Amino acid sequence: MKLPPLNALRVFDAAARHQAFGKAAEELHVTHGAVSRQVRLLEDSLGLALFERRNRGVFLTDPGRQLFDLTRALFEQLAVGLAKLSPPAADAPLVLSCEPTIAMMWLIPRLPEFQRIHPGVQVHLYAAGGPLDFAAQGVDVALRRNDFEWDAALHAERVCEEWTGPVCRPGLSEAATADPAGDAWGGAPALGSATRPQAWRQWSQASGMKPPRRAGPVYEHFYLSLQAAAAGLGVAIGSALMACDAVRDRRLAAPCGFVRDGSAYFLLSPRPCAEDPRAAAFLGWLRREAAASLREAGAAGAGPDQSVVS
C-alpha cells in the first residue's frame, strides 16, 4: 500500500490531539480550511472516514482512533530521534517542564541558588504534569513522579523517593497524639486531592496509622489541599519535598512525620543527561537539593539516589 503524504499525517495528528480543526490550525500556523483539506486528502487516500463531523465539532471514528495511536507513536519516536541528532547550544536555556505543585512549593524558591552556582545555565520553567511532547513543546528535561507510563525511548534519571505524611496548621496538630490510631485530629476532616486520589489510603498502608474519621473536601490540585491545610480547613496528605519549607517556617506541621509511598521522582529527557552539560549540572544539583530537603523534613534514611534507568 502506498503511504499517504507525511504532511497530511502531521495535520491529522494535530487535529486528533486537539479534537478540533481550529486548534490544530493555530498550532500549525495554517488556516482552518487547510487543515480540513489535508484531513480530507488523507481520508480519500485511505478510503476511510477518520472524523465524524457534527454540531460544528469533529470526533474521531474507530479507524481515526487507530490511526491516531500510530501517528502519536510515530511522531514521538521521530522527535526523540531528531533530538539525539541535534545537540543543543551550550548557552541555550535549559527548558524544564515540572509538575506545578513541586515547582511552586519547592523548586522555584531554590532556583536562585542553582543560578548562583551555575550562572551560565539559565533555566526556563514550564509548569505541567503527566506525559508531554518534548519536541512540540520545546522542552529539554521534565521532572515527573512515576505515577504514569512514559515512552520507553526516553531517558529517566532517578532523583529521589517520594515521602508523604499528614500536614495541618500547627495549632491543629496539637490535638494529634503519639498514636493517631483513633480520632486524634480533634474532628478535623481529611482533605483530598483529585490529582492524588489514593494518597490517604497509601499513607495509611505504609504507616500503619489511620486517617481522620471525617472526610473533607476534595480539591482539584494537590497544592490547593496543602493551602487548605495551612489555612486550618483540615488535614491533608503532604509530600515531604513540597511541605518541608512550610514545616520549617511553622506554616504547616507534620505531627506523624513522613513515610515512603512507593513512588519516586525522575528527570526525563530525550537524550542522556550526561550528553548535555546543562542537564547534567541540573540533575546533580537537583539530587543534592532533594536529599537535603528530605533530611530536613525528617525523612529517615533519605539520601542522594544513584542514577538509574534509561
pLDDT of residue 300: 46
pLDDT digits (tens, 9 = 90+) for 280-299: 999 999 999 999 999 988 76
> Among 235, 262, 289, where does a domain finish?
262
3-state secondary structure of 100: helix
Angle at alpha carbon of residue 237, lines to 307 and 292, rounded to 5°: 40
* Domain harbouring 166, CATH code: 3.40.190.10
pLDDT of residue 80: 64
* Domain harbouring 46, CATH code: 1.10.10.10
In this prediction, residues 248-269 reach a mean pLDDT of 93
Instruction: Report if residue 129 sits inside a domain.
Output: no
310 CB burial (10 A radius; 0-12, 13-18, 19+): middle
**Least reliable range by pLDDT among 25-34, 137-146, 281-290:** 25-34
pLDDT of residue 183: 59
> Among 51, 85, 119, where does a domain finish?
85
> Among 54, 85, 116, where does a domain finish?
85
Q: Is pTM, for the whole model, over 0.95?
A: no
Residues 171 and 79 in one domain: no
Containing structural domain, residue 33: 6-85
Residues 167 and 257 in one domain: yes
Identify the band that residue 309 occupies on the pLDDT scale cut at 50, 70 and 90: very low
pLDDT of residue 42: 93
Q: What is the mean pLDDT of the chain?
A: 86
Q: Which helix (H) or strand (E) holds 241?
A: helix 240-248
Instruction: Report if residue 205 sits inside a domain.
Output: yes
Find which of 14-28, 254-268, 286-300 is predicted with most confidence, using mean pLDDT.
254-268
pLDDT of residue 61: 94
pLDDT digits (tens, 9 = 90+) for 179-238: 444 456 778 999 999 989 999 999 999 999 888 889 999 999 888 999 999 999 999 999
Instruction: Report if residue 208 sits inside a domain.
Output: yes
Instruction: Report if residue 295 sits inside a domain.
Output: no
Instruction: Report if residue 310 sits inside a domain.
Output: no
pLDDT of residue 172: 77
Identify the band that residue 83 occupies on the pLDDT scale cut at 50, 70 and 90: low
pLDDT of residue 23: 86
Instruction: Report if residue 108 sits inside a domain.
Output: no
Number of domains in the chain: 2
Percent of the chain with pLDDT over 90: 57
